[in-house]
Amino acid sequence: MSIRVLGTIAVAALLAMPQLPLTASAQEQAPPNFVDWYMTKVPASERNPDFVRRMAEAELEQVEHVDYARWYISPGIGRIDFEGDEPLKDGFYLTIRLGHDLNEWWTVEGSLLLAPSLDENFVGHTDFETGEKGKKSQAPEKVAGFGDTWLAQTYVDFLFHFTKWERVDPYVTFGLSISFYGKDVTGDQVSMMVRAGGGVMYHLTEEWALRADARVYNASYSWEFNASFDVGFAWTWGANRLRSDPGLYFDLDSDGDGLPDWYEVQIGTDPAHADTDRDGLSDGDEVMIYGTDPLNPDSDFDMLSDGAEVNKYGTDPLNPDTDGGGVSDGHEVLVDGTDPLDPSDDVMLFELNIRFDTDKDIIKQAYFADLDKVATVLQRNPAGTALIEGHADQRRTSNRTHNLRLSKRRAEAVRQYLVGKGIAPNRLKSVGHGYDRPKAANDPILGNLANRRVDVYIYGVGGKNKVQYVNPD
């Protein structure tokens, strides 16, 4: 039976095996559910229900994101198929491969092949120096032939997988190899070759797999192409620890932030840095305790970092106005100098959602009534002053300098309107913040209308009488 037929049978046998999910094997040894693990680690009073839900969903893909158990060793046995006019006859070989899975698509293998005995081909062989066929070895002076020899190859292959995480795992390969012959059978005892081919692995478990491979490669001393076919198995070290020691898998936390590395990969945080967004709270505390966004240093867009709200001011990092007084925590702390936990000292805020035309600062008549309310408050409180802030939203193409200038012009347009209503200019101040102070997340394409606004903060109108001015008649 020819080697091609044997190779075809081997590949067909692997493909015919049942295609069960890779993680279906050894179900009785499956690691405990991560949600159960979390419940034992975190007191009931500190558990985040949303985190529990997301962790339960992530269970389905956990094995695919593990950063260890990527190395394997793969011995095999095969046969070299030389072209008919090569100086050597077909023969068997042993091979051993060392592989590393770079990701779910690519693997690199370094390998050693040894054919301990290959016979000289006297029938049909062409001497590559003289062109004479048969009864001569390659070198003309060796009329008697060289008899037999051995062959050793070392090579590097790159494997591209089509279904890496399935039980049946086909792939294509390309690489380079160097061959060493025990005797001079090619005009040189050392030759380099380009090789390509494919194969298939059948994963019995996460640790063990069967494989069949075929390669073709050129002979560097001619334009001939030879082939090799082999079968073997692969053993991935470390994979069994996912089953025998699930604590290793679940507790692997490189940065010590309380989140396992595999989960950080899924949610986008850095498994090597405990505080990905550098807001003063660890990723684990944000996700498991406070429910804040570990990728956004200011989850509620109030101008205070999540860490500062929790550790310094005692405010709620998920509520932009903790005391409900009408002004955001950040504006109270950074601008007004008021207590974000005391609603009675909040200044008066008018948030004007004036819709300006693109790149324009002309106020339309539809918004005059809102501005007249602001003017009324200032007219009734001659000691009161106003800070007028212009804001913009941000898109992927937005220019910061342009938006700072545009928001300043729009704030100044509001100031000039109030001056026209009889408010002294020295009582009014206008500033433009561009898109530096959003109140909500921006869409990279559409921006966010909520961030296109003019805020008017009125100072000197407080105490018990402040409420009556919020919506003056």
Q: What is the pLDDT of residues 430-473, one digit of tens each?
A: 999 999 999 999 998 988 888 889 999 999 886 545 555 544 44
Work out the pLDDT band at 360, boundaries 50, 70, 90.
Answer: confident
- pLDDT of the residue at 142: 41
- Residue 32 confidence (pLDDT): 43
Q: What is the mean pLDDT of residues 298-319?
A: 96
Q: How far apart are the first and last CA of the chain?
A: 100
Distance (Å, whole) CA 19 – CA 271: 34
The residue-averaged pLDDT of 5-15 equals 46
Which H or E run contains 194? Answer: strand 190-203
Instruction: Give yes or no for residue 134 having a pLDDT over 50.
Output: no
pLDDT surpasses 50 at 20: no
pLDDT single digits (tens) 137-153: 444 444 345 668 888 99
Q: Which residue has the tokens 């003056």?
A: 472
CB atoms under 10 Å from CB of 436, counted, come to: 14
Q: State the pLDDT confidence band at 90, using cuts at 50, 70 and 90.
A: confident
CA dist list (Å): 369 to 354, 375, 381, 398, 454: 11, 10, 19, 31, 15
Domains, the chain, in order of start with CATH, read 3-26+70-236 (2.40.160.20), 347-469 (3.30.1330.60)
* pLDDT over threshold 50, residue 136: no
pLDDT beyond 50 at 26: no
Mean pLDDT for the chain overall: 81
Please give the pLDDT value at position 319.
96
- Contact between residue 284 and residue 251 where contact means Cβ atoms under 8 Å apart: no
Asked whether residue 16 carries a pLDDT value surpassing 60, the answer given is: no
Instruction: Please say if the pLDDT value at position 49 is more than 70.
Output: no
Q: What is the pLDDT of residue 414?
A: 96
Residue 179 has pLDDT above 70, yes or no: yes
Which region among 69-73, 118-122, 374-378, 399-403 has the lowest average model confidence (pLDDT)? 118-122
The whole-angstrom separation of Cα 301 and Cα 439 is 5
CB 148 within 8 A of CB 1: no
* In the predicted structure, residue 251 carries a pLDDT above the cut 90: no
Query: Any idea how long the chain is?
Result: 473
HSE-CB of 200 using CA atoms within 13 angstroms: 17
- Band of residue 353 on the pLDDT scale cut at 50, 70, 90: confident
**Pairing relation of β-strands 208-218 and 225-236?**
antiparallel
Question: Do the beta carbons of residue 342 and residue 325 sit within 8 Å?
Answer: yes
182, pLDDT greater than 70 = yes
Q: Enter the pTM of the model.
A: 0.51
User: Which range, of 24-33, 425-434, 444-453, averages the lowest pLDDT?
Assistant: 24-33
Residue 67 has pLDDT above 60, yes or no: no
Above 60 in pLDDT, residue 14?
no
Which of these ranges, 176-190, 261-275, 433-447, has the smallest mean pLDDT?
176-190
